[in-house]
Structure 1
Amino acid sequence: MGAIELRNVEKWFSEVQVIKGVDLTIADGEFIIFVGPSGCGKSTLLRMIGGLEDVSRGQIIIDGMDATDQPPSKRGLAMVFQSYALYPHMTVRENMGFSLKTAGAPKDELDAKVMDAARGLKLEPLLERRPKELSGGQRQRVAIGRSIVRDPTAFLFDEPLSNLDASLRVDMRYEIAKLHQRLKSTMIYVTHDQVEAMTLADRIVVLDAGFIAQVGTPRELYERPANLFVATFIGSPKMNILPCTDGTGDFVLGSGDHSLGIRPEHIEVTEAGQGTCDGTVDIIEYLGADTFVIADCGALGKLTVRLRGEDVALGQTVGLSFPDAALHFFDPSGKAMRAG
């Protein structure tokens, strides 16, 4: 069992509070991802769960037991960092089995667990190599394999793919997704990469300056953001935000203390003068499968539009239409009022 509960958890460094009363329940077998901007507290919160940082206030409950004051070795958790931290003088086999060996596990049990983990991670041909003979992706798989053989209550991943190049990150995302499907273990994962969060998580925890801004499935966060912070943080390119009057009825753009949000893919390009507003094509970003246009809408600012086959030219003035069902409204405090 790998259920984890955080009860009003706080973290202070001297007079500075970095985690501000976090409450969170993680179900056994759930894949949870912490995201947020640099300095939001996501790695600190993960380290608190792992026992690498003390809890200033609150409780951490693991499998129904209060683990707040337990050392890392007593929590039954396995951590995987962006730094592989492999022993350079040991083979892959020895690195993966080291923790069991030091714990006094019988050799046949150690060998069986190492081989089982190696098969699952496609490391069997590499077992007799040393870390210097491996690629970055292979080293990270060894680090994950070392955690698997411990049969932990839960896995804690702290930006494990950030040191890899783009193609290797794609491969390792697949490996981690398959690993979760196979092991069905609880996994808590910290990343700054939205693609990792959206593709891997059962639920995403969005952190903002030590607070939880919203918890939900990737679809819930994308389609129903609870506030302006989540609306502009989740999604790439981010949601367009424009000032408007009260969004509970008819609204007027460009004035008022409320905000209107619309995703780039929901804006429809039409003839100038026939949309919700007009914009002049300022930049065209061709990305192969997608083309994004940044349109200068004068006092309304610049809007990003995802094209769906429309042909536009630099300097062209076009109409931009906002379908009612795609609109999000936020009150002056930034809280969502309603979403399409």
Structure 2
Amino acid sequence: MSSIELKGVEKWFGDVQVIKGVDLSIDEGEFIIFVGPSGCGKSTLLRTIAGLEECSRGEILVGGRAVTAEPPAQRGLAMVFQSYALYPHMNVRDNMGFGLKTAGKPKAEIEQKVNEAAAALKLESYLDRRPKELSGGQRQRVAIGRSIVRNPTAFLFDEPLSNLDAALRVEMRYEIAKLHRELATTMIYVTHDQVEAMTLADRIVVLRDGIIEQIGSPRQLYERPDNLFVAQFIGSPKMNIVPCRTEGESYVLEGGRGGALTQKGEAAHVGVRPENIEIGAEGEGQCDGLVDIVEYLGADTHLLVDCAGLGQIGVRLGGDVEIKPGDRVGLIFDGSRLHFFDKDGQALPRD
């Protein structure tokens, strides 16, 4: 296993700059996830680390060794793609061992490593099958197994679960988490899926337009976002952002209601997550609204409440709540769980 360090990494495609001076240090054995909207540069950054894209400027180090100018095969990294990229005419055993075979490794060594990887991924009974005889989840495990046998210094995953259905995504998420725990190898993982990022990562790197907006643990990003972009990108349903003004040590919403300003500075926006809002009678809490949509999900009920000049506010309640579209309600914000942002969208400092 190895640490990975990026120093001022840039990537240009002609006159278009996709990665804009990224600095990042990844510790040995750490599970890092890149997230961000489509086009933010997360897959390009991963491919640049792998050597599949040339680094236009900056430096990439693996285990303290500069690899910026080295081809992919010499970096000691293993890439797992979204598309599996298995050879259809080969069985699982040969697919997993193909890289070692082309590297000239002894047959006994290849067999041993393939068997060990198959045992770790529960593929022993599928070694003689061809890819067309496997499910999507099994094919992805074969692709991961092909990387494991190379004993890489780090794994790079490029949206590996995107082609799977919901049930298989959950199963493979468990498998990848378990694999990381057992191998204790550095992993960098690209995804657009909030659940994958929050459940798998030691740290999440949030990217937008080729720059890093914030780095932190899932809890840090959820509870202490640095700006409006991270606040609304991390979390599902997303955080509600409501315009406000500051009056002394209070914040005031349109209509004259508000509460205590619990952060320092001039607040222009207050953020409140859907689970930090309670429903009361009209006139109670910070604002009133008309229930527009009710989504019953069993354990949870999600509401979309039209609050006139404040816009629509999402509310997450327990599944046993009796409420229907057309009800008028008051929304009560949990004052200890609010987030405040200035006019530029930056989080106000906390005590």
Answer yes or no: is the 8 Å Cα contact 1:205–1:214 preserved in 2: yes
**Residues 189 and 134 from structure 1, CA distance in 2 versus in 1: closer, same or farther, beyond 3 angstroms?**
same
Answer yes or no: is the 8 Å Cα contact 1:242–1:254 preserved in 2: no
2:13 aligned with 1:8, yes or no?
A: no
Secondary structure of 1:251's aligned partner = strand
Distance in structure 1 (CA, Å) of the matches to 2:300 and 2:342: 32
CA RMSD of aligned residues (A): 1.4
Q: How does 1:308-327 map to 2 (within 5 A)?
A: 308=318, 309-327=320-338
Q: How does 1:89-168 map to 2 (within 5 A)?
A: 89-168=89-168
Cα deviation, 1:191-248, whole Å, max 9, x if unaligned, reads: 0001000010000000011010000000000011010000000011100000011387
Aligned residue number for residue 245 of structure 2: 245
Counterpart residue type for residue 335 of structure 1: Q
Aligned residue number for residue 288 of structure 1: 298
Specify every segment of 5 or more residues in structure 2 that has no aligned partner in the other structure, as ranges. 256-265
Counterpart residue type for residue 324 of structure 1: G
Q: What's the TM-score once normalised by structure 2's chain length?
A: 0.95
Aligned residue number for residue 180 of structure 2: 180
Q: What's the TM-score once normalised by structure 1's chain length?
A: 0.98
Answer yes or no: is the 8 Å Cα contact 2:267–2:340 preserved in 1: no
Matched residue count: 340
Counterpart residue type for residue 298 of structure 1: A
Counterpart residue type for residue 224 of structure 2: R
Answer yes or no: is the 8 Å Cα contact 1:92–1:126 preserved in 2: yes
Give, in angstroms, the shift of residue 274 of structure 1.
1.3
Give, in angstroms, the shift of residue 324 of structure 1.
1.4
Secondary structure of 2:251's aligned partner = coil
**Residues 128 and 247 from structure 1, CA distance in 2 versus in 1: closer, same or farther, beyond 3 angstroms?**
farther
Aligned residue number for residue 72 of structure 2: 72
Give, in angstroms, the shift of residue 339 of structure 1.
6.0
2:47 aligned with 1:47, yes or no?
A: yes
Aligned residue number for residue 33 of structure 2: 33
Which range is displaced more, 126-135 or 255-264? Answer: 255-264
Secondary structure of 1:189's aligned partner = strand
Secondary structure of 1:246's aligned partner = strand
Aligned residue number for residue 258 of structure 2: none
Give, in angstroms, the shift of residue 254 of structure 1.
3.1
Give, in angstroms, the shift of residue 106 of structure 1.
1.1
Answer yes or no: is the 8 Å Cα contact 1:247–1:330 preserved in 2: no
Aligned residue number for residue 56 of structure 2: 56
Q: How does 1:225-304 map to 2 (within 5 A)?
A: 225-246=225-246, 249-254=249-254, 258-304=268-314
Give, in angstroms, the shift of residue 338 of structure 1.
4.1
Q: How does 1:209-220 map to 2 (within 5 A)?
A: 209-220=209-220
Distance in structure 1 (CA, Å) of the matches to 2:66 and 2:56: 15
Distance in structure 1 (CA, Å) of the matches to 2:131 and 2:236: 36
Give, in angstroms, the shift of residue 15 of structure 1.
1.0
Distance in structure 1 (CA, Å) of the matches to 2:267 and 2:281: 29
Counterpart residue type for residue 306 of structure 1: R
Distance in structure 1 (CA, Å) of the matches to 2:136 and 2:327: 46
Counterpart residue type for residue 337 of structure 1: L
Counterpart residue type for residue 275 of structure 1: G
Counterpart residue type for residue 198 of structure 2: M
Aligned residue number for residue 316 of structure 2: 306
Counterpart residue type for residue 56 of structure 1: S
Answer yes or no: is the 8 Å Cα contact 1:10–1:55 preserved in 2: yes
Distance in structure 2 (CA, Å) of the matches to 1:301 and 1:176: 40
Cα deviation, 1:63-120, whole Å, max 9, x if unaligned, reads: 1011111100110000000011111111100110011111111111111100000000
Distance in structure 1 (CA, Å) of the matches to 2:162 and 2:284: 45
Answer yes or no: is the 8 Å Cα contact 2:267–2:341 preserved in 1: no
**Residues 109 and 248 from structure 1, CA distance in 2 versus in 1: closer, same or farther, beyond 3 angstroms?**
farther
**Residues 317 and 134 from structure 1, CA distance in 2 versus in 1: closer, same or farther, beyond 3 angstroms?**
same
Counterpart residue type for residue 329 of structure 1: F
Specify every segment of 5 or more residues in structure 1 that has no aligned partner in the other structure, as ranges. none
**Residues 313 and 210 from structure 1, CA distance in 2 versus in 1: closer, same or farther, beyond 3 angstroms?**
same
Answer yes or no: is the 8 Å Cα contact 2:34–2:207 preserved in 1: yes
Distance in structure 2 (CA, Å) of the matches to 1:150 and 1:111: 12
Distance in structure 2 (CA, Å) of the matches to 1:217 and 1:166: 25
